[in-house]
Amino acid sequence: GIPTVADRVVQAALVLVLEPIFEADFHSSSYGFRPGRRAMDAVAEIRMFASNSYEWVFEGDIKACFDEIDHTALLGRVRGRIGDKRVIALIKAFLKAGVLSEDQTLRRTDTGTPQGGILSPLLANIALEVLDEHFARVWAENSSSRVDRARRRRHGLPTYRLVRYADDFVVLVSGEREHAEALYDQIADVLAPMGLRLSEEKTFVVGIDEGFDFLGFRIQRHYKPGTSKQFVYTFPSRKSVAAIKQKVKTITTQGTHKPLVEILRQLNLILPGWTRYFQYGVSAHTFAYLRHYTWRRVVIWLRNKHRKTNWRTLRDRYGPMGWWPVDEGVELFNPAAIPVSRYRYRGDIPTPWTQPAPA
């Protein structure tokens, strides 16, 4: 299923052609695989709206999104903006190329965008733009100004805000729970022409006080300790913490025939990226916990490696810095040393393709 070098070159060229055109059309509610945008922008938008009366969350899950996008519908959307038949032919060939499995069996791809391809994320965004367009129309018709939103609230009418990162999306609802629950059929109807379906098992409605997971974060409203004020907090989800713990555990259960420096290097490959992703949240407690967990796993590994060596000798040999593991000049990465801060909501982020060229 991995594209050849030649395929990747062609796909990269197609992205260079298509991205500037479709970026001009894409809506601000979409954050995944777009220039100048990142996961934290999506999380920050959710936090901002959830802090301002959007208390219900429709968390949608699209069933096998990348595997089920209808090729005819997708190519129809591409043709709406691209007139060059050669470009259309290349995209169609990419979609219909099939996937070669490990047992050398070629599987036809009558639907979906091949995962792992450079072009796939852009094509998925083109397909899922139907969702962005729908909620942009709803927003423009009913909620584009504060006056409109206040008027709707006075009359018991809902307002909606979509936040999407690739095929992960939520709709924030200012209204009642039943308004959020009513979105299921509406969204299903929007996705159906693209060959997509919502997963009944994984799509649900929650209140912001219950909290929900999105892009690895837990987003939930709590009382600030020692006060009567409530705030929406973002912090690493249990699933995210469990995943990094499992990686640490896997590394530190390797054979003790290896030198400590090799274990430290492997840990130092996974810990910095994880902590820096979650540093824009209420993560200090989690980082301190991960620091202790990782240290403890390394100590257990060392004790198993040197069963006949006493603790003081091990500490002197591998912990010259107050018993923080070091070997051959490689120090174990300390998650608690990463400062945490709040990521500011950036509003409507302009695409680089619509910015005026510098003089």
* Residue 163 belongs to domain with CATH number: 3.30.70.270
**pLDDT tens per residue across span 239-286:** 999 999 999 999 999 888 999 999 999 999 999 999 999 999 999 999
Same domain, 71 and 200: yes
**pLDDT tens per residue across span 135-179:** 999 888 776 677 777 778 777 789 999 999 999 999 999 999 999
Does 350 fall in a domain?
A: no
Are 235 and 281 in contact, with CB atoms under 8 Å apart?
Answer: yes
Does 36 fall in a domain?
A: yes
Show the low-confidence residues of the chain (pLDDT under 50): 100-101, 106
| Domain region containing 194 | 5-234
| pLDDT for 18 | 96
| pLDDT for 46 | 98
Does 78 fall in a domain?
A: yes
Are 191 and 198 in contact, with CB atoms under 8 Å apart?
Answer: yes
Same domain, 113 and 262: no
Does 343 fall in a domain?
A: no
Same domain, 226 and 324: no
Q: CB-based burial of residue 87 (10 Å sphere; 0-12 exposed, 13-18 middle, 19+ buried)?
A: middle
Rounded Cα gap, residues 150 and 263, in angstroms: 57
| pLDDT for 356 | 60
Same domain, 94 and 221: yes
Could you give the percent of the chain with pLDDT greater than 90?
72
Same domain, 259 and 147: no
Take residue 316 and report the two structure tokens written for it: 């002197």
Same domain, 281 and 197: no
Number of domains in the chain: 2
Q: Which of 234, 264, 286 is the last residue of a domain?
A: 234
Q: Which of 194, 214, 234 is the last residue of a domain?
A: 234
Does 345 fall in a domain?
A: no
| pLDDT for 321 | 63
Same domain, 223 and 253: no
Q: How far is CA 111 from CA 19, 84, 115, 124, 224, in A?
A: 22, 23, 12, 12, 48
Same domain, 53 and 177: yes
Does 347 fall in a domain?
A: no
Q: Which helix (H) or strand (E) holds 240?
A: helix 238-251
Same domain, 85 and 190: yes
| pLDDT for 101 | 47
Rounded Cα gap, residues 14 and 357, in angstroms: 23
Same domain, 32 and 167: yes
Take residue 284 and report the two structure tokens written for it: 């200090």
Rounded Cα gap, residues 74 and 76, in angstroms: 5
| pLDDT for 151 | 79
Q: Which of 213, 234, 255 is the last residue of a domain?
A: 234
State the greatest distance between any 2 C-alpha atoms of the chain, in Å, as a whole number. Answer: 76
Same domain, 155 and 188: yes
Beta bridge partners of 162: 171
| pLDDT for 116 | 74
Same domain, 310 and 330: yes
